[in-house]
Amino acid sequence: MGKLDGRVVIVTGAARGQGEQEARLFAAEGARVVVADVLDDQGEALAKELGALYVHLDVREESGWQAAVAAAQKAYGRIDGLVNNAGILRFNTLLDTPLDEFMQVVQVNQVGCFLGIRTVAPHIADAGGGTIVNTASYTGVTGMAAVGAYAASKHAIVGLTRVAALELARKKIRVNAMCPGAIDTAMSNPALLDPNADVDAESSARGLERMYRKLVPLGRIGRPDEVARLALFLTSEDSSYITGQPFVIDGGWLAGVSVV
């Protein structure tokens, strides 16, 4: 028996990184997964491998969400869960952040999450209840210099999660948030994606490794499969009495400053 047998779950931003690991784990646990992303080639290849459904979904677009739920309903006849995972990161100090850049981050991270909840929740309610997991961040519960737009959008996701949990509990929908610290994906090491980057991916990874060994009490960067296991917990019956909570998964980074 899988932990998600018979359940239909949409995962946004599922073509790579944490979303990909969530799609893989959910499929292995018996879910019928809807892989949603703007990276069509990668998303389609993953869906094919998993026997899942791929939908092109730009989370900023209301009409895209309508098309995605229509495709999921047509393929599977129900929707039981959503993982709002799609997100982008931009580095800049607040005083140097152009309005366009700030809005770009808010549109994907915050508006995308809002549209996901608003569009998918009625379908989950029709299926008799289910779960929504929103991907916030460590920076959704504390500050970090040079990521002002990102941190603002992730704090907003924690707020949206709490309100959605209150409003949707009577429809038997539980809503929680994940707050990952540094996780080893293209987002934390963009050189992985760009063969022409100034810094090569390996030396950049070594630099990051040194940094996280010092910063993070557990002494390393997190793995996307570790976040996927938290997403599974929050999507399965294992978390049946939990709603409205942000879950930090960060190797102890947020615990405080170590002086020893």
Q: Would you call 257 exposed, middle or buried from its count of C-beta atoms within 10 A (0-12, 13-18, 19+)?
A: exposed
Under rule CB under 6 A, residue 17 binds ligand NAD:
yes
Parallel, antiparallel, or unpaired: how do β-strands 81-84 and 53-56 relate?
unpaired
Binder to ligand NAD among 2, 45, 60, 171 (CB under 6 A)?
Answer: 60
> Binding segment for ligand NAD among 46-54, 132-140, 161-169, 201-209 (CB under 6 A)?
132-140
Binder to ligand NAD among 81, 87, 246, 251 (CB under 6 A)?
Answer: 87
Return the amino acid letter for 164. Answer: A
Q: ∠ at Cα 191 (143, 232), nearest 5°?
A: 60
The H or E element containing residue 226 is helix 224-235
| Rounded Cα gap, residues 163 and 213, in angstroms | 36
Return the amino acid letter for 74. Answer: K
Under rule CB under 6 A, residue 119 binds ligand NAD:
no
Draw the binding track, 156-185, toward ligand NAD (x: CB under 6 A; -: no contact).
------------------------x-xx-x
| Rounded Cα gap, residues 141 and 149, in angstroms | 14
Yes or no: say if 138 and 255 are a contact pair by the CB < 8 Å rule: no
Binder to ligand NAD among 11, 19, 33, 131 (CB under 6 A)?
Answer: 19
* Residue whose entry in the numeric block shows the structure tokens 């939990």: 242
Q: How many residues bind ligand NAD (CB under 6 A)?
A: 30
CB-nearer residue toward ligand NAD: 85 or 239: 85
The two three-digit tokens of residue 62, written as one number: 């209301």
| Rounded Cα gap, residues 240 and 233, in angstroms | 9
CB-nearer residue toward ligand NAD: 3 or 90: 90
Q: Which of 54, 76, 138, 150 is catalytic?
A: 150
Binder to ligand NAD among 18, 110, 161, 176 (CB under 6 A)?
Answer: 18
Binder to ligand NAD among 28, 45, 67, 88 (CB under 6 A)?
Answer: 88
Under rule CB under 6 A, residue 239 binds ligand NAD:
no
222 backbone dihedrals φ, ψ, rounded to 5°: -80, 160
Residue 43 CB, nearest distance to ligand NAD (Å)? 8
CB-nearer residue toward ligand NAD: 86 or 127: 86
Number of Cβ within a 10 Å radius of residue 189? 20
Under rule CB under 6 A, residue 37 binds ligand NAD:
yes
Yes or no: say if 254 and 142 are a contact pair by the CB < 8 Å rule: yes
Binder to ligand NAD among 119, 131, 137, 235 (CB under 6 A)?
Answer: 137
Residue 206 CB, nearest distance to ligand NAD (Å)? 17
> Binding segment for ligand NAD among 15-23, 118-126, 164-172, 201-209 (CB under 6 A)?
15-23
| Rounded Cα gap, residues 214 and 43, in angstroms | 35
**Active-site residue flag, 150:** yes
| Rounded Cα gap, residues 7 and 21, in angstroms | 17
**Which residues are tagged catalytic?**
150
- List of residues contacting ligand NAD (CB under 6 A): 12-13, 15-19, 37-39, 57-60, 85-89, 108, 135, 137-138, 180, 182-183, 185-188
